[in-house]
Copies of this chain bind each other. A is one copy, B any other.
Amino acid sequence: MIIVLKANASKEDKQRIIDKVHSLGLQTMVSAGVERSIIGVIGEEDKIRVQPLEAYPGVEHVIEVLSPFKLVSREFKPESSNIKIKDVTIGGEKIVIMGGPCAIENLETLREIALKVKESGATVLRGGAFKPRTSPYSFQGLGVEGLKIMKQVCDEVGLLSVTEVIDPRDVELMAEYVDIMQVGARNMQNFNLLKEIGRSKRPVLLKRGMMATIKEFLMSAEYILSEGNFNVILCERGIRTFETYTRNTFDINAVPAIKILSHLPIVVDPSHATGKWGLVTPISRAAIAAGADGLIVEMHVHPEEALSDGTQSLNPENFEAMIKQVGAVAQAVGRTI
C-alpha cells in the first residue's frame, strides 16, 4: 500500500500516519520526493485495507498495490482447476456446452429441448425455475415445480443440469434437484447467498454482474471459496455500457485476463452477452478462440413462443450448427468438443 501525501502535508501529519501504520504491526518506508512525500507500507496489506487512511489529515490518496483476492488467484494455485461433476469435467481440454431455455415452461417442452441438446453433443441442460425479472408483472418461473421437471428430464435424457438460485433460503432445496447451481448477474454481490452456496460445497456457476469489474467478480468467487467450496465455474455474460445496439457488451478481454489471474475455469454466455440470436454463433466461436472453457447458450424448440428471452435463443438447427463451428475453432486452439 502506498500513501501519497499532499504537497502541503505537515511533519505532524506524516508522523501521525506512520505511527498508525506501526500500531498495526506493519513497517513503513518513507520517500521524500521532489514534489511530495510518499509512504510505502510493508507487510500484510490486508491488515490495513479497512483503515480509511485517506481520512487522515495530509493524505492525498492511497493506492493499493496487491490484489485483494487470495484463494481464487493463480498465485495461490498455479495449475488450472478442473471441476468434475459426474462424467463431465469443466476446465480441461474438452470444451463444455450447456444449452436450454431461458425458463422452464413445462415437462413436454423441456424434454423436447433436452433431446435436441443431447443430440447436438452438449452435456448440460440449462433452464430457470426461479427467474429474477425486472418487472413484478413478468413471468417469474415455475419455482419448485420447475426444479422437479428439470430433474426428471435430466435423469431421462442423461444430461447434467444447471439452474439459477436467487434466495439463500433455497440453497438446500436446490441441492437435491440440480447438479450446478447458478448465481445470476444480479446476485453476484448477494453475499449471504454466496456464503450459503459456499457452505453447501455444491458446484456453482457464478455469473459476472453486469457492472462488476473483473476484480469484484473474483472477490465474489473468493466468498464461495473462503467457505470451503472450490467447485466454482466463472461465467462472463456481458457488461453494461453505453452501447445500445446489443443487450450487453461482451467483455471478451475478461476471458484471457481471468486465465492469467485465476485458476478457476471460465465459460461464456453469448446469449445474454449479445441479446440477439444472430450474433450468438460468431461470438461463441470467438469465446472459444479466446480460451474459454465452455459455453452456456439459450436454445428453444420454438424461440418465438418462449416465455422469456426468445429473442436471443437459437433454434435446434442453429444450435447444432453453432456447435459444429465451435468445434472447428476448438481444434484450431488445441482443444476438443
Give the residue of B38, B213, B290 whose beta carbon is less than 8 angstroms from that of A283: B290
Identity of the chain B residue whose Cβ is nearest the Cβ of A290 in the assembled complex: B286
Residue A84 at the chain B interface, CB threshold 8 Å: no
Q: A211 contacts which chain B residues (CB < 8 A)?
A: 209-211, 240, 242
Q: What separation, in Å, do the CA atoms of A260 and B38 have in the docked complex?
A: 20
Q: A243 contacts which chain B residues (CB < 8 A)?
A: 213-214, 239, 251, 253-254
Q: A213 contacts which chain B residues (CB < 8 A)?
A: 242-245
Q: A276 contacts which chain B residues (CB < 8 A)?
A: 54, 257
Q: What separation, in Å, do the CA atoms of A282 and B139 have in the docked complex?
A: 38
Residue A121 at the chain B interface, CB threshold 8 Å: no
Residue A7 at the chain B interface, CB threshold 8 Å: yes
Contact call B75/A7, Cβ cutoff below 8 A: yes
- Residues of A in contact (CB 8 Å), total 110
Residue A77 at the chain B interface, CB threshold 8 Å: no
Residue A169 at the chain B interface, CB threshold 8 Å: yes
Q: A274 contacts which chain B residues (CB < 8 A)?
A: 253
Contact call B52/A303, Cβ cutoff below 8 A: yes
Contact call A135/B219, Cβ cutoff below 8 A: yes
Residue positions of A touching B, CB distance < 8 A? 2, 4, 7, 29, 31-36, 38, 40, 42-44, 46, 49-57, 63, 65-66, 68-69, 75, 132-139, 166-169, 186-187, 189-192, 195, 209-211, 213-216, 219, 222-223, 226, 239-246, 249-257, 259-260, 273-274, 276-279, 282-283, 285-291, 303-304, 306-311, 313, 325, 328-329, 331-333
